[in-house]
Structure 1
Amino acid sequence: MRLGLHALGIGAGAEPEVIRAVAVAAERHGFATLWAGEHVVMVDKSDSEYPYSDDGKIAVPADADWIDPMIGLAFAASATTTIGLCTGVLLLPEHNPVIVAKQAASLDKISGGRFSLGIGIGWSREEFDALGVPFERRAARTADYVAAMRTIWRDDIASYAGEFVDFDAIRVNPKPRRRRIPVLCGGNSDAALRRVARWADGWYGFNLDPDDVAARVSMLREMCGHAGRDPGELRLAVALRDSRPSDVGRLAELGVDELVLAASPPQDPAAVADWVADLAADWQ
């Protein structure tokens, strides 16, 4: 079972010295990946329901620092040499896919092929409105964007014609190390799992209980069967609501590849090394 750490990008995790200290310590103590999420826009009062809490509200204050995950992970990449880097998640339909393809390939190149792109379709209508992007049909937009980006990563001269993106005979360099970047799709709903089964390279389940993970993995396998895909080819990563070391064995039996610990680092960079060491001692 691989162990990831989702601790970068928000609040103290947006401070450069904390990012560097977390990245260095996590790599030293054997964590497999570093994760950073995204919101471009937050609002003080939202009518949109946050799908990962019981009360429908996100716990992050609206005025918290929330660093761009591509920039934060690039900064972490410069301080490390082996640990994987993953967005968890980047809200793809809010962005231009040609630009994201270039950013992702650039991060993959400078990190030596360590980057995976975790994406979501978004849940905040207010955020989409502020960015001038239609909230409706964002799932279809996301699938179209992923197909377009994979074309850019693969082909020296890329052409693509879809419903939401269209380009002809363009060059977008650099290319990723393997001409492909793993795309993990976040979300716990049936619709999210259907996207994973149809076109993603993996799944990132967030804020789940172990029983929820079991039910979701079972559903995902069933959907893979309908889609004609081998579920064993998918990378399964989950962040639990209340993680305990005793959960690792059950997750492994379910076929989960990676348990991601979602935690907030200390404000003081000098305290980060011990914080990471304690996490590692508890889980490894």
Structure 2
Amino acid sequence: MRVGLHALGIGDGARPEVIRSVATAAETHGFARLWCGEHVVLVDAPVSRYPYSADGRIAVPADADWLDPMLALTFAAAVTSRIELASGVLLLPEHNPVLVAKQAASLDVLSAGRFSLGVGTGWSAEEFAALGVPFAKRGRRTEEYLAAMRTLWSQDPASFTGEFIRFEAIRVNPKPLRGGHLPVVIGGNSDVALRRAATLTDGWYGFNIPTADVPAHIAVLADECARHGRAFDELTIAVAVSDATPEHLPALEAAGITELVIVGAPPPTPDAATTWVTELARTWIRPKR
């Protein structure tokens, strides 16, 4: 089982010198992938419930620095050469899919094919309102945008007609490096997110899930794969587990996780960030036999 690190882009993890230290140390010590999430907008007193905590509140202060994930990961790509990169997650229905398709393919090219696009539907009605995007139908919008982006990545010129986006005979380059295919991962812990992972994407990213609940989520994912004729082993399954300890690693791997994602906030100085990543690696990454 691989181990990823979700630590870039927020607070001290938004500082370029800290990103450099975290990224290079993670690559040196064997982390498989760097993850970076997104919020364009936070508000001081949200009405919308955050779905990844028991109290419904996001832990990040509204006034914290939060980098655009595509830019943060491009910076990380420039200071590394092997470690994979993923948005975890980009809130796709908030964006123009033509622009996202170009940005994602550009990052894939600049990273020499190391990028996976993690997307989610979003949860904050306040954020959608600030961006002028309808909160309703965001799931359908996400599904359509994925189809449109895959058309752009694989065809040149490309045409698409849908409910939310239309274009005719346009050229959007560069293309992703893997034969016009860029791996897409869907984020979210709901059964709907698991269905989308099984039917629409290359993998699933579950976030802040208790260890005891992981097998049930993976069982739903496996059932959805079987229901829709999808081979379960085609999917990557990355999960950030809220209460995992190193002793849980064998059970999590046996449950079907292909990548355990460690979520954390790095310290504010480069040297301390390097030491922090080194200690995480000693704790979580098992030596190869």
TM-score of the pair, normalised by structure 1: 0.99
Q: Partner residue of 1:37?
A: 37
CA–CA separation in structure 1 for the residues paired with 2:273 and 2:105:
30
What is the aligned-residue identity percentage? 61
CA distance in 1, matches of 2:31, 2:4: 6
Q: Which residue of 2 aligns with 1:258?
A: 259
Could you give the per-residue CA deviations for residues 148-177 of structure 1, whole angstroms, max 9, x where no partner exists? Answer: 001111112111111111111110000010
Residues 211 and 243 of structure 2 are in contact (CA less than 8 Å); yes or no, is this contact kept in structure 1?
Answer: no
2:272 aligned with 1:271: yes
Please say if 1:187 is aligned against 2:188: yes
- Which structure 1 residue ranges, 5 or more long, are not aligned? none
Query: What residue number does 1:11 align with?
Result: 11
Residue 114 of structure 2 is matched in structure 1 by 114
- Please state how far the C-alpha of 1:226 moved relative to its aligned partner: 1.2
Task: Give the structure 2 partner of residue 199 of structure 1.
Answer: 200
CA distance in 2, matches of 1:253, 1:125: 37
Give yes or no for contact 1:49–1:57 (8 Å, CA) kept in 2. Answer: yes
Aligned to 2:54: 54
Q: Confirm or deny that 1:248 pairs with 2:249.
A: yes
Letter in 2 for 1:279: L
Moved over 6 A (4+): none
Match of 1:216 in 2: 217
Contact 1:204/1:237 (CA < 8 Å) preserved in 2?
yes
The alpha-carbon deviation at position 71 of structure 1 amounts to 0.2
Aligned partners of 1:73, 1:90: CA distance in 2, in Å? 12
Matches within 5 A, 1:103-142: 103-142=103-142
Please give the per-residue CA displacement for 1:75-109, whole angstroms capped at 9, x wherever unaligned. 00000000000000000000000000000000000
Partner of 1:149: 149
What do residues 11-43 of structure 1 show as CA deviations (whole Å, max 9, x unaligned)? Answer: 000000000110000000010000000000000
Matched residue of 2:239: which SS?
strand
What 5-or-longer segments of structure 2 have no aligned partner? none
Q: CA RMSD in A?
A: 0.7
Structure 2 residue matching 1:153: 3-state secondary structure:
helix
Partner in structure 2 of residue 239 of structure 1: 240
| Shift, 1:214, TM fit | 0.4
1-structure distance, mates of 2:49, 2:133 = 18
Q: Comparing 187-196 with 75-84, which one deviates more in the overlay?
A: 187-196
- Opposite residue 106 of structure 1, the aligned amino acid is S
**Secondary structure of the structure 2 residue equivalent to 1:259:** strand
Structure 2 equivalent of residue 68 of structure 1: 68
Please list, as runs of the form range in 1=range in 2, the aligned pairs for 1:12-27 lying within 5 A after superposition. Answer: 12-27=12-27
In the alignment, residue 108 of structure 1 is paired with which amino acid?
A: D
1:228 correspondence with 2:246: no
Q: After superposition, give the CA deviation of every residue in 1:62-84 in whole Å (9 maximum; x if it has no partner).
A: 00000000000000000000000
Q: CA deviation at 1:273?
A: 1.3
Q: Any conservation in 2 of the 1:243–1:261 contact (CA below 8 Å)?
A: no
> 269-278 or 145-154: which moved more?
269-278
Secondary structure of 1:252 counterpart: helix
Q: How big is the shift at 1:243?
A: 2.4
Structure 2 CA distance for aligned equivalents of residues 14 and 186 of structure 1: 22
Distance in 1 separating the partners of 2:190 and 2:128: 20
Q: More displaced, 81-90 or 240-249?
A: 240-249
CA contact (8 A) 1:46 1:126 kept: yes
Count of matched residue positions in the alignment of Structure 1 and Structure 2:
284
Aligned to 1:282, the other structure's residue is in SS state helix
Q: Deviations over 1:180-234 (max 9, x none)?
A: 1111000001111111112111000000112211000001111111111111101
Secondary structure at the aligned position of 1:246 is classed as helix
- CA distance in 2 between partners of 1:34 and 1:144 (Å): 27
